[in-house]
Amino acid sequence: MKNNTTRFYKIDLADHPSGYELSELIKEFLRPSEYQVLNGRSDSKKQKEIPVPESSEMVEISLAGKELDRDQAKQWLFRELCRETGYRPEWGTLTGVRPVKMANELMDLKGHTPEEVRGILQDYYYLNEEKADLVMETSAVQRFVTAQPAGRTFGLYIGIPFCPTRCIYCAFTSNQQPYAEVQRYLQALLREIDAVGKRCRELEIRPETVYFGGGTPTTLRAPELDLLLSAVETAFDMSSVREYCVEAGRPDTITRDRLEVLQRHGVGRISINPQSMNDGTLERIGRTHRSEDIRKAFRIASPYRDMIINSDIIAGLPDENYDMFLQTLRKVIDLGPQNITVHTLAVKRSSRLHEMDAEYHYAERETGRMVYDARRILARHGYRPYYMYRQKHMAGNFENVSYAKPGTESIYNIRIMDEHQTIIALGAGGISKAYYGPSNRLERVPNVSNYSIYIERIDEMIERKNQKLYRPFALEAGETGNC
């Protein structure tokens, strides 16, 4: 990102109805200290004045008097900021999380061909060729899932909000607590599993995928892990399950007794997430394991050949340069996971990294080269991009991409980003999403994120789902009243 230290921008959005999206686009170009957003006269007295450095040149950009819809306004503002800053974001005017979903809908709902969609991405949304290629390749790889309606199935997510330690970039529901607290949480979770399972059986709906996330689900010891998996398999009709995944994540939680439990229950996917293969980096970001522990975890998992392994790595970690990142990538490829996810570091507001440096993601780094070359190296080793999403406050405004060997793509990951299937999320921090097919919309039904409050209010969490979550399926079945 270009660092405009000698200029200050006053940008008047003139009360445009798409002001939020326009403000998000500005963040792709400028640091918060480099600009002020105005909104015509309606709230000018309420806006906090940002001090302008004495030596700065004032640049004024205004939408006043321009009759532009949302996309036209974004295009105009993008061109103005490109001209004034000399910087052109690779994702063009797109600021949303799911660019592949947009491409899929242009084909499925609007009838465009892939070639037409590529043209729209570049000519209308201003993506560069590299990002347009990434979107279209990812879309093509995942069509074996997205082209199939989900029907009366759903994705089942179960959250275990505990980790051995908290990484400096983490903003997930993740706690470090005595094991007695983990067991107390598990009892509440089992109640939710039982209640939700009963309602799903009544509606004759079944999970297509089962995904245990967190946190780190393998913070559970083998007996509790066995108890939890058994409860899920008893509560739900598992006859339509195409994928069964448990995030093992932390190498220091991967043991033979836990893997034996997973194999016995038919779990077909796990994760072993290095994030980096550089020991100094692992220590800086708050991981308790070292690179040798990662290799050990792969050796422990090697007898379980039926399990697909995903490994996460992160581009843009503190004090990591391009060569260090590529070293991590090559070492992970040598370990042989079928899936490798390349994350771009995101500085979440609730993370310790944000407290340390709120503008970390604006700094000039080599993140672009990292993600660009990672794609090419992975392609040479037979990996294809199959799901991708973006987040706010990502280093260099890039993306997260999961790559897979053919035939090992995660159905759950594809569905959750495509957003054309109901997701039932159990546990603290779980956000269920009811999908209404006829109107192509989602309704969120969240659980509370604090695990202790979740335990106290477990009956309320169950009732929330009863009131809102099952409605699309109940309406299809002709039920009326509370769903």
Domains 90-141 and 149-422 share a fold: no
Q: What is the mean pLDDT of residues 101-125?
A: 97
pLDDT at 44: 45
Q: Which CATH class is domain 90-141?
A: mainly alpha
Average pLDDT over residues 333-358: 76
pLDDT band at 324 (very low <50, low <70, confident <90, very high): very high
The reported pLDDT for the residue numbered 42 is: 45
User: Is the model's pLDDT at 483 over the cut of 50?
Assistant: no
Residues 6+ apart with CB under 8 A from 463: none
Q: How far, in Å, CA of 157 to CA of 74, rounded?
A: 36
User: Measuring CA to CA, how many Å separate 466 from each of 342, 383, 450, 473, 477?
Assistant: 37, 41, 21, 12, 15
Overall average pLDDT of the 383-388 stretch: 97
Contact 340, 275 (CB under 8 A): no
Segments making up each domain of the chain, as ranges: 1-88, 90-141, 149-422
Of residues 203 and 393, the one with the higher pLDDT is 203
pLDDT, tens digit, 9 for 90 and up, residues 124-173? 999 999 999 999 999 999 999 999 999 999 999 999 999 877 666 565 55
Helices 129-141 and 99-108 pack at an angle, to 10 degrees, of 70
Q: For the chain, give the percent of residues with pLDDT over 70.
A: 88
In this predicted model, which residue has the larger pLDDT, 57 or 335?
335
Please tell me the predicted confidence (pLDDT) of residue 170. Answer: 61
* Mean pLDDT rounded to a whole number for the chain: 90
Burial 184-206 (b: 16+ CB within 10 A, else e): ebbebbbbbbebbbebbeebebb
Rounded mean pLDDT of 339-358? 69
Report the pLDDT value the prediction gives residue 232, as an integer from 0 to 100: 98
pLDDT over 90 at 5, yes or no: no
Q: What is the pLDDT of residue 67?
A: 95
At residue 348 the predicted structure's pLDDT band, cuts being 50, 70 and 90, is low
Mean pLDDT, residues 1-7 taken together: 60
Residue 66 CB-density burial (10 A; 0-12 exposed, 13-18 middle, 19+ buried): exposed
CATH architecture under which domain 149-422 falls: Alpha-Beta Horseshoe (3.80)
The answer on pLDDT for 481 being more than 50 is no
pLDDT of residue 303: 96
pLDDT at 50: 65
Residue 361: per-residue pLDDT: 54
Q: What's the pLDDT tens digit per position in 11-48?
A: 999 999 999 999 999 999 998 889 999 986 444 444 56
Is the pLDDT at 1 greater than 60? The verdict is: no
